[in-house]
Amino acid sequence: MQVLFSTHGDIPRRIASFGATGTCTHIASDAMHAAGAHHEFVGYIADEPGSGVNAYDGAPVFTLDDLPEDVGVLVPVMDPAGRRSIFERLHARGIPIIGSRGAPPNAHPSVTYGEGSIVAQSSLVGPGVRLGRGVIVVSVSLWHDSSVGDFSTIGGGVAIPGHVEIGSDVWVGMGASFTNGTPDAPLRIGDGAVIGVGAIIVKDVAPCATMISPRARSVEEWRELEGRGASS
């Protein structure tokens, strides 16, 4: 379950979503379904609106200059740098940014949410979790006492146990997993790091580091590698 929220006053009745890609459409659809009849979805925002109609659901696509007045905006753009830039543009125009938080039983009441953070309704978020501004969490298990810094993206199928501190502007690819930290020694992922699809993180990651997992290989390739004494 999801609930729309704003960290700066009331939520406007009319809502738009920045970005009209398949992922943006899916996240916006989930959020608006949770909002129900209390809010009206007016369409999407794109720098290049193309035909002016979203190919997935037929909703209007506006430029930021053409956006109707008194509209709050969700920002489900997956790229951390792109999302940060959009926040700055919306702030400069005084346009309110809307977030979508989890709700029981999928999200514990103690979870804290920064401005415009978005938690997909299929995510499980446990007690003591802290999410920064502009965070996106997509179909994730995020257990307890962990944190995600501003504008980080956590992809689908990621498992984050207790006492993991993920920095700002981090990209975590689908299916990645992390070993748990402890209260005295949390597992730390530095700002700007990239965690590749399926990576298994068992120690701290330096800022701006890129961590990748071994790619899938055929049985024949593995046998050839073993014959050469290679380990990966």
What pLDDT score was predicted for residue 2?
A: 76
pLDDT of 230 over the 70 cut: no
pLDDT of 1 over the 70 cut: no
The per-residue pLDDT of the chain, averaged, comes to 92
- Mind listing the pLDDT tens digit for each residue in 138-193? 989 999 999 999 999 999 999 999 999 999 999 999 999 999 999 999 999 999 99
Most confident of the ranges 52-56, 65-69, 199-203: 199-203
pLDDT band at 130 (very low <50, low <70, confident <90, very high): very high
CA distance 150 to 227: 46
Residue 49 domain-assigned? Answer: yes
Q: What is the CATH number of the domain that holds 18?
A: 3.40.50.20
Tokens encoding 181? 């930290």
The DSSP 8-state label assigned to residue 69 in this structure reads S
Backbone angles phi, psi at 78, to 5 degrees: -80, -30
186 burial level (CB within 10 Å; 0-12, 13-18, 19+): middle
The DSSP 8-state label assigned to residue 32 in this structure reads H
Instruction: Report whether 83 contacts 75 (CB < 8 A).
Output: yes
What pLDDT score was predicted for residue 28?
A: 87
Residue 13 domain-assigned? Answer: yes
pLDDT of 34 over the 80 cut: no
- Say which amino acid occupies 203: K
Residue 222 domain-assigned? Answer: no
Q: Which residues of 191-212 are buried (b: 16+ CB within 10 A; e: fewer)?
A: bbbbbbebbebeeebeeeeebe
Q: Which of 168, 160, 60, 165 is nearest to 117 (CA)?
A: 168
The total number of structural domains in the chain stands at 1
Q: Residue 200 in 3-state DSSP?
A: strand
CA distance 167 to 155: 15
Residue 33 domain-assigned? Answer: yes
pLDDT of 232 over the 60 cut: no
Residue 10 domain-assigned? Answer: yes
Residue 140 domain-assigned? Answer: no
pLDDT of 209 over the 80 cut: yes
Residue 82 domain-assigned? Answer: yes
Residue 171 domain-assigned? Answer: no
What is the pTM (predicted TM-score) of this model? 0.91
Q: Which of 50, 58, 4 is nearest to 30 (CA)?
A: 4
- Mind listing the pLDDT tens digit for each residue in 113-122? 999 999 988 8
- Mind listing the pLDDT tens digit for each residue in 38-60? 899 999 999 988 878 888 888 99
Domain holding 28, by residue range, is 2-99
